[in-house]
Amino acid sequence: MCDLFGVFCISFILTVIKIPIIIDYCDWFELYDDLEFHRKCHGLGTSRLGGVAIFSAFMLSMLLLLNIQNDEVVALLISTGVVFFIGLKDDILGGVLPVEKVQVQFLAAVVLVFIGDYKITSMYGLFGIYELSELSAAVLSIGTVVFVVNAFNFIDGVDGLAGTIGFIVNISFGILFLKLGNTTMALVSFGITGAIAGFLRYNFVSGTVFMGDGGSMLIGLISISSALRFLTLNGQNVLDADIADLSPAIALAILIVPVFDGIRVILLRLSRGKSPFAGDKNHIHHKLKFLGFSDVSIVLILACFNVWILILAFSLSFLNITELIGVLFCVCIIFNIWITYKKRKKKLIPM
């Protein structure tokens, strides 16, 4: 417990110290988040390099406290570095094509799966499927990593949203790893939550700094790495037999906000003949913004929804895996239908 508290504090303090320096640096060189301003929900002239503080604080805390000779740790640190730097390149220079980001994310996913052994090896009976072949496990795991990394990037459109959801996701996995007795992954989770907490001090209300693609993709990769490791660990070391077979549903519940929004937006874009990575204003946070909610309200609504879904998943542990995941998605669909209905209703009201 002391190590977990220590890694949280180290990451938090380092991030809090570094962000003002980064803001001054961005002011000097005018490195602002003014690209694609038409689909942003914030003002002009704000630093987008908050991810630099998150990444450096996280990496330093990991190097101090983790065994870097462990393949699991090495794979995670390499993949986070690869994803962060392609995001940072876009944050500083711009012009990085979506296909280039996906290629780098694919490379990071390959490192995770084949070096760190972060993979989905079983479907736990979902749709009647149990053990997966090596090829199926690798393909599914790599695809899942790439999707979740982009899903976190998608929700980074409102002050505090990606950071708050990232905090909830990783503190949840940290607690689960603590219960499963995996100190290494618990340190990873608490390390990134400390860095995120330090970042949110400057970003949550009327953000003075944004995490940028580097930060959001970094958090997404660590989050999905934790989810994949949780599936493996819970299958090997069951503390509660009632929820052992529901591990994928628990992981989904923790990641529900970026996952559901990502699936919904990608399907919507494909149905309109657009690239799944084409920017637009169809995300859930954009809909809530249109309804008149402030940034703080949007963050609180989606954060509470995330926590409520997680509580719901544990409360419905008597269901089988297929039924539980079906219920979780039905709740999300109803939530989305309600928001869409309110949005359309507002459009019909004369201004």
Other CB atoms within 10 Å distance of the CB of residue 35: 11
Average pLDDT, the chain: 89
> What confidence score (pLDDT) does residue 162 get?
95
Angle between helices 98-114 and 212-236 (to 10 degrees): 30
> What confidence score (pLDDT) does residue 348 get?
58
Query: CA nearest 243: which of 307, 289, 311?
Result: 311
Range 65-69, long-range pairs (CB < 8 A, 24+ positions): 65/3, 65/6, 65/7, 65/187, 65/191, 66/184, 66/187, 66/188, 67/184
Q: Is 153 among the annotated ligand-binding positions?
A: yes
Residues of the chain with pLDDT under 70: 30-45, 205-207, 235-243, 347-351
Angle between helices 256-271 and 321-348 (to 10 degrees): 60
> What confidence score (pLDDT) does residue 240 get?
60
> What confidence score (pLDDT) does residue 143 get?
97
Q: In whole angstroms, what is the distance from residue 65 CA to residue 12 CA?
A: 15
Q: In whole angstroms, what is the distance from residue 70 CA to residue 184 CA?
A: 10
Determine the structural domain holding residue 260 and report its residue range. Answer: 2-348
> What confidence score (pLDDT) does residue 128 get?
84
Q: Give how many domains the chain has, as a whole number.
A: 1
pLDDT digit string, tens, across residues 305-332:
999 999 999 999 999 999 999 999 999 9
Q: Is 237 among the annotated ligand-binding positions?
A: no
In DSSP terms, 47 is beta-bridged to 32, 209
Query: CA nearest 162: which of 146, 150, 147, 176?
Result: 150
Whole-prediction pTM value? 0.93
